[in-house]
Amino acid sequence: MENKANALYIQSGGPTAVINASAYGAIRECRKSAEIDRIYASEHGILGVIRNRLFDVTETMEEEERLPFTPSMIFGSCRYEISEEDPDQKDYRAVLETLKERNIRYLFINGGNGSARAGLRLGKFLKSRGYEIRLIVIPKTVDNDISCIDHAPGYPSAARHVALTVSELARDMMTYDTPLIMFAEVMGRNTGFLAAAALAAGEIDRGPDLIYVPEVVFDRQNFIEDVGTVLKKKGKCFAVIAEGVKTADGKFLFEDTSVNKGMDMQKNMGGVTPYVSGLLRQHFQCKIRGIDLGLMQRCGAHDVSEIDRKEAEEAGRQAVRAAVRGETMKMVTIERENGKEYNARYGLVNLEQVAEQDKSLSLSYVTEDRHYIKKEFLEYVMPLIGECPRYTVLKTPYVGLDDR
């Protein structure tokens, strides 16, 4: 490789609350390297490379110090996937042209498991064309479904948001003395890590009564019975449901066309709230509140996990250091060290290994009745969520009618 070349940073997939911290770490580390000259960032992910639309971030950006605290994705992303079926490889050739034109030999892709696979395919194409490049993936995802890593940057902040929000909703549910069923839809297409994080709400204040994850088949009748049992016992019930739960026939709840009429299912990932609301109203007469926690799970920087922000930035720095050392076709990993105090170390793993399979929530964390999460999960998630607020708990004696 030439003594000095340029670098390109790409944000890929969906946002997280801390992906811009990874951008900050990678860009700042590039500036420190004697091997890297100019530094570019792509506009809207891989589409910016195909279209040759790049930001030049070689010099310090205005208010750059705020970048780690900036929500969502400052450079933008896309849902575009390069077709492997195109015989002309038009998109790949456009990418290669952009890289050649700007002498880019260091490529950093900040994304999830799909982005890792896309990076692997791109790297193989560039190698087949004899183009030397150092390609490193910086992990991120709120779903936490990337393999070969203890947790992905983005997940701790999303988990914290879920835990805090659920604790607040659980307290709000207790305001009135009337029967109430409340449920919260959380993200998680194939994994239940975010739904499981709702367990931590009970460590803050109040938690949910039921938790349903994609790793377990969602049975409608069992769900109604579960809710009914809790409602009869407590007068209220709070359930947390991952958007990706499936019924025994392998279908997502949002694919029920009797509720989501005329919708394109490929464009409607999530959206289980209307279905669950309708299902509950068929069986219960009390007030029912369905709450979709929505996009704030992945982009809300107001309640970010400080550990997450720190690790996301360091992952960006580690990626650049690895590339400068000569590493390529790797992903940065975060591994938890043994011990009572939380500490993490960073490493690298081959993209081929990451691409083999996605990570799921271990069923060892799921209770035998399949509608809750075991306390052991707290040992995993609480260090990532970080310090949480504490609320007042009434302990004053209650004066009832018998005391008159």
- CA–CA–CA angle 380, 113, 87 (5° rounding): 175
Is 56 a residue of the active site?
A: no
Q: With CA atoms as reference, report the closest residue to 9 among 37, 50, 34, 43.
A: 43
Residues 6+ apart with CB under 8 A from 26: 9, 108, 110, 138, 316, 317, 319, 320
Q: Which of 143, 209, 226, 308 is catalytic?
A: 143
Q: How far is Cα 329 from Cα 349, in angstroms, rounded to an integer? A: 9
CA 374 to chain centre: 21
Q: What share of the chain is helix, strand, coil (3-state, %, to 5)?
A: 40, 20, 45
Both structure tokens of 12: 């890929």
Q: How is the beta sheet containing 36-42 ordered, strand by strand? A: 54-56, 36-42, 5-11, 104-111, 134-139, 330-336, 344-350
Cα–Cα distance, 121 to 234 (Å, whole number): 54
Q: Which two tokens stand for residue 325?
A: 């050392």
What is the per-residue DSSP string for 12-54? -SS--SSHHHHHHHHHHHHHH-TTEEEEEEETTTHHHHHTT-E
Q: Which helix (H) or strand (E) holds 349?
A: strand 344-350
In DSSP terms, 138 is beta-bridged to 110
Place of tokens 């107001």: 302
DSSP character at residue 61: P
- Give the separation between CA 35 and CA 398, rounded to whole angstroms: 71
Give me the active site residues, please: 143
